[in-house]
Amino acid sequence: MPRISAPTIAEHVAAQEQAVFDAAVRLFMERPVAEVSVADIAREAGLARTSLYRYFPTKASIVHRWFETAIAPLVVAGDAIADSQASSTEKLGRWVQLHLDLLGDERHRAMIRAARDTDDMPNDVRLAITSGHQQMYASLNRILTDQGIAPEIVPIRVALIAGALRGVVDMAERGIDLSLAGPEIMRTAMACLSPSDSVPVWGVEHGLR
Protein backbone atom coordinates (compact mmCIF):
# COMPACT_ATOMS: atom_id res chain seq x y z
CA MET A 1 0.00 0.00 0.00
CA PRO A 2 1.46 3.43 -0.91
CA ARG A 3 2.44 5.78 1.86
CA ILE A 4 -0.02 8.54 2.57
CA SER A 5 0.77 12.04 3.76
CA ALA A 6 -2.45 12.74 5.67
CA PRO A 7 -4.30 11.30 8.69
CA THR A 8 -6.74 9.39 6.45
CA ILE A 9 -6.74 8.03 2.92
CA ALA A 10 -9.62 10.36 1.99
CA GLU A 11 -7.66 13.40 3.17
CA HIS A 12 -4.58 12.17 1.31
CA VAL A 13 -6.57 11.79 -1.92
CA ALA A 14 -8.09 15.26 -1.48
CA ALA A 15 -4.66 16.79 -0.86
CA GLN A 16 -3.15 15.08 -3.89
CA GLU A 17 -6.06 16.13 -6.08
CA GLN A 18 -5.65 19.73 -4.94
CA ALA A 19 -1.91 19.54 -5.61
CA VAL A 20 -2.56 18.36 -9.17
CA PHE A 21 -5.14 21.10 -9.70
CA ASP A 22 -2.85 23.82 -8.33
CA ALA A 23 0.05 22.58 -10.47
CA ALA A 24 -2.08 22.61 -13.62
CA VAL A 25 -3.39 26.11 -12.93
CA ARG A 26 0.16 27.41 -12.45
CA LEU A 27 1.16 25.96 -15.82
CA PHE A 28 -2.01 27.13 -17.59
CA MET A 29 -1.28 30.65 -16.37
CA GLU A 30 2.23 30.49 -17.78
CA ARG A 31 1.39 29.17 -21.25
CA PRO A 32 -1.54 28.03 -23.41
CA VAL A 33 -3.34 24.80 -22.53
CA ALA A 34 -2.21 23.19 -25.80
CA GLU A 35 1.42 23.70 -24.78
CA VAL A 36 0.98 21.99 -21.39
CA SER A 37 1.10 18.19 -21.41
CA VAL A 38 -0.26 15.80 -18.82
CA ALA A 39 3.35 14.84 -18.15
CA ASP A 40 4.15 18.50 -17.44
CA ILE A 41 1.35 18.67 -14.89
CA ALA A 42 2.42 15.43 -13.21
CA ARG A 43 6.01 16.67 -13.00
CA GLU A 44 4.89 20.02 -11.54
CA ALA A 45 2.76 18.20 -8.95
CA GLY A 46 5.54 15.75 -8.09
CA LEU A 47 3.58 12.70 -9.21
CA ALA A 48 4.01 9.93 -11.73
CA ARG A 49 1.95 10.48 -14.88
CA THR A 50 -0.09 7.36 -14.21
CA SER A 51 -0.91 8.62 -10.72
CA LEU A 52 -2.28 11.87 -12.09
CA TYR A 53 -5.04 10.05 -13.99
CA ARG A 54 -6.52 8.91 -10.67
CA TYR A 55 -7.48 12.51 -9.96
CA PHE A 56 -8.11 14.07 -13.38
CA PRO A 57 -8.45 11.88 -16.49
CA THR A 58 -7.83 14.78 -18.92
CA LYS A 59 -6.70 18.39 -19.05
CA ALA A 60 -10.31 19.26 -19.90
CA SER A 61 -11.45 17.85 -16.55
CA ILE A 62 -9.00 20.18 -14.78
CA VAL A 63 -10.23 23.17 -16.77
CA HIS A 64 -13.81 22.18 -15.88
CA ARG A 65 -12.93 22.12 -12.17
CA TRP A 66 -11.26 25.52 -12.53
CA PHE A 67 -14.36 26.93 -14.21
CA GLU A 68 -16.65 25.52 -11.50
CA THR A 69 -14.59 26.99 -8.68
CA ALA A 70 -14.65 30.40 -10.38
CA ILE A 71 -18.29 30.46 -11.46
CA ALA A 72 -19.96 29.28 -8.23
CA PRO A 73 -19.19 32.42 -6.17
CA LEU A 74 -20.12 34.63 -9.14
CA VAL A 75 -23.56 33.03 -9.32
CA VAL A 76 -24.11 33.53 -5.59
CA ALA A 77 -22.90 37.15 -5.66
CA GLY A 78 -24.94 37.96 -8.77
CA ASP A 79 -28.10 36.52 -7.22
CA ALA A 80 -27.53 38.57 -4.07
CA ILE A 81 -27.23 41.75 -6.14
CA ALA A 82 -30.34 40.98 -8.19
CA ASP A 83 -32.35 40.16 -5.06
CA SER A 84 -31.30 43.30 -3.17
CA GLN A 85 -33.56 46.31 -2.59
CA ALA A 86 -31.30 48.66 -4.58
CA SER A 87 -32.41 50.51 -7.71
CA SER A 88 -31.95 48.85 -11.09
CA THR A 89 -29.16 51.29 -11.87
CA GLU A 90 -27.28 50.44 -8.68
CA LYS A 91 -27.87 46.71 -9.18
CA LEU A 92 -26.54 46.78 -12.71
CA GLY A 93 -23.55 48.87 -11.68
CA ARG A 94 -22.68 46.47 -8.88
CA TRP A 95 -23.21 43.44 -11.13
CA VAL A 96 -20.96 44.76 -13.88
CA GLN A 97 -18.31 45.93 -11.40
CA LEU A 98 -18.27 42.46 -9.83
CA HIS A 99 -17.31 41.01 -13.21
CA LEU A 100 -14.88 43.79 -14.08
CA ASP A 101 -13.04 43.23 -10.81
CA LEU A 102 -12.67 39.54 -11.57
CA LEU A 103 -11.62 40.16 -15.15
CA GLY A 104 -8.93 42.46 -13.85
CA ASP A 105 -7.38 39.39 -12.20
CA GLU A 106 -4.95 37.54 -14.49
CA ARG A 107 -5.88 34.20 -12.89
CA HIS A 108 -9.52 34.65 -13.90
CA ARG A 109 -8.59 35.69 -17.43
CA ALA A 110 -6.31 32.67 -17.68
CA MET A 111 -9.22 30.43 -16.71
CA ILE A 112 -11.36 31.92 -19.48
CA ARG A 113 -8.56 31.42 -22.01
CA ALA A 114 -8.10 27.83 -20.86
CA ALA A 115 -11.80 27.05 -21.26
CA ARG A 116 -11.82 28.75 -24.67
CA ASP A 117 -8.69 27.04 -25.97
CA THR A 118 -9.16 23.46 -24.73
CA ASP A 119 -9.77 21.59 -27.97
CA ASP A 120 -10.50 18.14 -26.50
CA MET A 121 -13.39 19.29 -24.32
CA PRO A 122 -15.98 16.47 -24.04
CA ASN A 123 -19.56 17.42 -24.88
CA ASP A 124 -20.76 16.91 -21.31
CA VAL A 125 -18.11 19.33 -20.03
CA ARG A 126 -19.01 21.90 -22.70
CA LEU A 127 -22.67 21.57 -21.73
CA ALA A 128 -21.77 22.00 -18.05
CA ILE A 129 -19.79 25.17 -18.83
CA THR A 130 -22.67 26.49 -20.94
CA SER A 131 -25.05 25.79 -18.05
CA GLY A 132 -22.72 27.62 -15.67
CA HIS A 133 -22.73 30.69 -17.91
CA GLN A 134 -26.52 30.59 -18.09
CA GLN A 135 -26.72 30.52 -14.29
CA MET A 136 -24.27 33.41 -14.06
CA TYR A 137 -26.25 35.60 -16.47
CA ALA A 138 -29.65 34.71 -15.00
CA SER A 139 -29.22 37.43 -12.36
CA LEU A 140 -28.39 40.01 -15.06
CA ASN A 141 -31.51 38.92 -16.90
CA ARG A 142 -33.57 39.56 -13.76
CA ILE A 143 -32.08 43.02 -13.24
CA LEU A 144 -33.01 44.09 -16.77
CA THR A 145 -36.43 42.46 -16.57
CA ASP A 146 -37.19 44.26 -13.30
CA GLN A 147 -36.39 47.54 -15.06
CA GLY A 148 -39.43 46.93 -17.26
CA ILE A 149 -37.56 46.30 -20.49
CA ALA A 150 -39.57 44.34 -23.05
CA PRO A 151 -39.06 40.57 -22.59
CA GLU A 152 -37.99 40.08 -26.19
CA ILE A 153 -35.30 42.78 -25.79
CA VAL A 154 -33.84 41.55 -22.49
CA PRO A 155 -31.85 38.62 -23.99
CA ILE A 156 -30.36 40.95 -26.61
CA ARG A 157 -29.14 43.37 -23.96
CA VAL A 158 -27.83 40.55 -21.78
CA ALA A 159 -25.85 39.35 -24.80
CA LEU A 160 -24.53 42.88 -25.43
CA ILE A 161 -23.27 43.25 -21.85
CA ALA A 162 -21.88 39.71 -21.84
CA GLY A 163 -20.05 40.38 -25.10
CA ALA A 164 -18.55 43.59 -23.75
CA LEU A 165 -17.28 41.76 -20.67
CA ARG A 166 -15.87 38.85 -22.68
CA GLY A 167 -13.96 41.40 -24.72
CA VAL A 168 -11.88 42.29 -21.65
CA VAL A 169 -9.78 39.15 -22.14
CA ASP A 170 -9.01 40.14 -25.72
CA MET A 171 -8.29 43.72 -24.66
CA ALA A 172 -5.80 42.52 -22.05
CA GLU A 173 -4.07 40.31 -24.62
CA ARG A 174 -3.79 43.32 -26.94
CA GLY A 175 -2.23 45.43 -24.19
CA ILE A 176 -5.20 47.76 -23.72
CA ASP A 177 -5.30 49.50 -20.34
CA LEU A 178 -8.16 47.81 -18.48
CA SER A 179 -8.53 50.81 -16.19
CA LEU A 180 -9.70 52.70 -19.28
CA ALA A 181 -11.79 49.85 -20.65
CA GLY A 182 -13.80 49.40 -17.44
CA PRO A 183 -15.62 52.76 -17.53
CA GLU A 184 -16.44 52.29 -21.21
CA ILE A 185 -17.94 48.87 -20.55
CA MET A 186 -19.91 50.33 -17.64
CA ARG A 187 -21.31 53.04 -19.92
CA THR A 188 -22.32 50.40 -22.45
CA ALA A 189 -24.07 48.42 -19.74
CA MET A 190 -25.91 51.43 -18.33
CA ALA A 191 -27.26 52.28 -21.79
CA CYS A 192 -28.97 48.88 -21.69
CA LEU A 193 -31.26 50.13 -18.91
CA SER A 194 -32.93 52.64 -21.25
CA PRO A 195 -36.44 51.84 -22.51
CA SER A 196 -36.28 50.38 -26.00
CA ASP A 197 -38.28 53.19 -27.61
CA SER A 198 -36.09 55.95 -26.12
CA VAL A 199 -32.88 54.90 -27.85
CA PRO A 200 -32.44 56.40 -31.35
CA VAL A 201 -31.70 53.80 -34.00
CA TRP A 202 -29.40 54.90 -36.84
CA GLY A 203 -30.87 52.39 -39.30
CA VAL A 204 -34.43 53.64 -38.81
CA GLU A 205 -33.37 57.23 -39.49
CA HIS A 206 -31.77 56.11 -42.77
CA GLY A 207 -34.62 53.95 -43.98
CA LEU A 208 -32.99 50.64 -43.03
CA ARG A 209 -34.72 47.68 -41.35
Residue 12 has a pLDDT of 74
Over 50: is that where the pLDDT of 184 sits? yes
The rounded distance, in Å, linking the Cα atoms of 132 and 138 is 10
Residues of the chain with CATH 1.10.10.60: 1-57
Report angle CA 42, 46, 49 to the nearest 5 degrees.
30
Q: Is the dihedral of CA 203, 204, 207, 209 positive or negative?
A: positive
Q: Which residue has the higher pLDDT, 177 or 201?
A: 177
Residues of the chain with CATH 1.10.357: 59-199
Residue 7 has a pLDDT of 66
Residue 4 has a pLDDT of 54
- Read off the pLDDT of residues 31-69 as tens digits, 9 standing for 90 and up: 999 999 999 999 999 988 888 888 998 999 999 999 999
User: Taking residues 142-163, what's their average pLDDT?
Assistant: 95
Over 80: is that where the pLDDT of 3 sits? no
Of 29, 34, 6, which Cα lies nearest the Cα of 18?
Answer: 6
User: Taking residues 1-26, what's their average pLDDT?
Assistant: 79
Sequence-separated (6 or more) residues with CB below 8 Å from residue 121: 60, 63, 115, 129
What CATH number was assigned to the domain covering residues 59-199? 1.10.357
Q: Which residue has the higher pLDDT, 9 or 58?
A: 58
What's the predicted TM-score (pTM) here? 0.84
1-57 folds as Arc Repressor Mutant, subunit A (1.10.10)
Of 52, 51, 55, 62, which Cα lies nearest the Cα of 25?
Answer: 62
